[in-house]
Amino acid sequence: MRDTISYDQQQDTIRSRLPIVVVVLLLTSITLVVRMVLFQAPPEPRVAAYVQAIRDANYSATRRETSSRGILYDRTGQRLAVNSVRYRVGISANLVSDPDQMVQDLSTILNLDPLRVNEIIRSRTSYALLATNVSPEVWSQLNALNSPAIVSEQIPRRYYPQGALAGQLLGFVAGAGEDFIGYNGVEGRYEPWLAGRTATQVTSTIPFELPVEIGNLESGADLVLTLDRDVQYLVEEVLAQAVADTGANGGTIIVMNPNTGDILAMASYPPLDPNNIPLDDAQALRNPAISDIYEPGSVMKVVTVAAALERGAITPDWVYNDQGSYNVGNRVIMNWDRQPYGLVDVTSILVNSLNIGAAKIAVEQLGLDGFYAMMSAFGFGQLTRVDLDGEQPGILRTPGDSLWSESDLGANSYGQGVSVTPLQMLNSFNVIANGGLLIQPRIVSQVIRGQEVTTIEPDVRRRVISEETARIVTEMMVAAVEVGLDESARLPGYTVAGKTGTAEIPSIEGYLNNATNVTFIGFLPADAPTVSVLIKLDQPSSGTFASQTAAPVFRRLAERLVTYLEIPTDDIRAQLREAGGAVSVIRP
């Protein structure tokens, strides 16, 4: 009886568990069928790539080649940026036929620890990195081993043979391979043109199998700059001496051809060596000539006078009564020496650098619409569109801006309350030097792709003033240098047109005490300008005014420039003119 009960219980247990077993078996079968179907389907791309990499590791290697980056030349053909090559070297240990000999060769050529090399080779791994930054000379020794186990990759490097010369203007290159990219200056702006092309090739390591060549990769375009290496060297030398002599915190010098917009030299102090870039110091990488803005001071009076003459708001004979102070928008404007000048004409405003005269022209003669329309026409508050990375547009507040006030109209007329870049300020003077045209500054004159040479022509953006207005203002600027406050810029044998600017430095709490930025801008010969120059010094301690500091620097630079650029004296040019010769061509 007891055995019968036990048997029945077992049967009940089996019957109760049987559906569970059936369900489990059914699910397992379905899973196996699904897995079999999925196994036949295309795998997920990442998985496929991984599987292929494992599959190919034993009989193929990946080789990457990058064509050369374009070379930068100065206007005379001197190389400013070139390419060098380094190598990254690895080993496919599973392809080494003689481990002992390979350990000896690699440790000797690469100057590596033999124990480390031995460990790598005995691992029989498909790839292991041995060394980076290998020189071409060392690589040639490795290549002479003619071993399929040695894997190398070219790593391009950018080299600047002139060192720190024009470093801020040229920019720099960082990275490797496809990430070998130009930053700042010419390198950054023309990156798409300069960059070489990179190609990747999978090569077979199976003996007797012929490799497939990548083929010829198109190199980056070479660029010929408007920059003159010797003028650049001269400018940097003069600037460094000026900073030392005046105790300035820094400074900028720009030399241009006002007739074409060509930048012949552009330097700021302290300099930057693109071969040794401080990547952790963003400020050091900037080009102050186009990236830093400042209030220019009295050099802006030239623009104010030119604007008023062009719009017919004044004539060269216009006069006013200078009483020593002038109220504009509850701001009392005074002359630099706090003195009244009585009856004053337009030329005297520039000769004596009178704030009141400039303010009266802007407020009473030009008015809001006329003044700011002409400021815009001269390019203030806008990018010059120079072909360099990092340019800033400056700051020109106009009526309607939340921060503009009525007093700005008076202050802007003599260069306060308006911020410019050094290049922007010099380019506005080029308008006067070239007869009234606003020309886009440029640094690249030619693009070379193989045998094809493309010349980039000067870009005239618009006419700002007439030739007659430019001539009248030039004569006033000559008077400022010959008989005015700016006489320390005079150059024997040449007629110089120029103007100084001394500007207080704004801060969050107002203008700094006993601190100024000083500027001198001039061009010569005044009657047929060939070269224009901006000198800017930051907070010089040897003198407060630009006539004491910046103007003498202009003279020292100009004395050497006229010799190098072979600019004839006024007397010689007069003789050349009579003989029908050209008198305003900078030699190539």
Backbone dihedral angles phi then psi of residue 89, each to the nearest 5 degrees: -120, 135
- pLDDT tens, residue order, the chain (588 aa): 445 556 666 666 667 777 777 777 777 878 777 766 666 666 666 555 545 555 555 555 555 556 788 999 999 999 999 988 788 889 888 888 888 888 898 889 888 898 898 888 888 888 888 888 788 888 889 888 888 888 887 777 889 999 999 999 999 998 765 677 899 999 999 999 998 765 555 555 555 454 545 556 678 899 999 999 999 999 999 999 999 999 999 999 999 999 999 999 999 999 999 998 887 788 888 999 999 999 999 999 999 999 999 999 999 999 999 999 999 988 999 999 999 999 999 999 999 999 999 999 999 999 999 999 999 999 999 999 999 999 999 999 999 898 899 999 999 999 999 999 999 999 999 999 999 999 999 999 999 998 899 999 999 999 999 999 999 999 999 999 999 888 899 999 999 999 999 999 888 777 888 889 999 999 999 999 999 999 999 999 988 899 999 999 999 999 999 999 999 999 988 888 787 766 555 444
For the chain, domains (ranges, CATH) are 61-202+215-225 (3.90.1310.10), 229-276+285-578 (3.40.710.10)
pTM as predicted: 0.81
Element at 20 (helix H, strand E): helix 2-40
Distance CA 119, CA 134 (A): 21
pLDDT, tens digit, for every residue of 138-149?
A: 888 988 888 888
What pLDDT does 419 receive?
96
Distance CA 201, CA 276 (A): 33
What pLDDT does 174 receive?
83
What is the overall mean pLDDT for the chain?
Answer: 87
pLDDT, tens digit, for every residue of 232-287?
A: 999 999 999 999 999 999 999 999 999 999 999 999 999 999 998 887 788 888 99
Distance CA 217, CA 207 (A): 27
Amino acid letter at 286? R
What pLDDT does 583 receive?
56
CB 67 within 8 Å of CB 219: yes
CB 138 within 8 Å of CB 117: no
554-586 burial code (b ≥16 CB/10 A, e <16): bbebbeebbeebebbeeeebeeeeeeeeebeeb
CB 482 within 8 Å of CB 490: yes
Q: For residue 253, how many other CB atoms are within 10 A of its CB?
A: 28
What pLDDT does 175 receive?
74
Strand, helix or coil at 126?
Answer: coil
Return the structure tokens found at 450: 């193989």
CB 357 within 8 Å of CB 320: yes
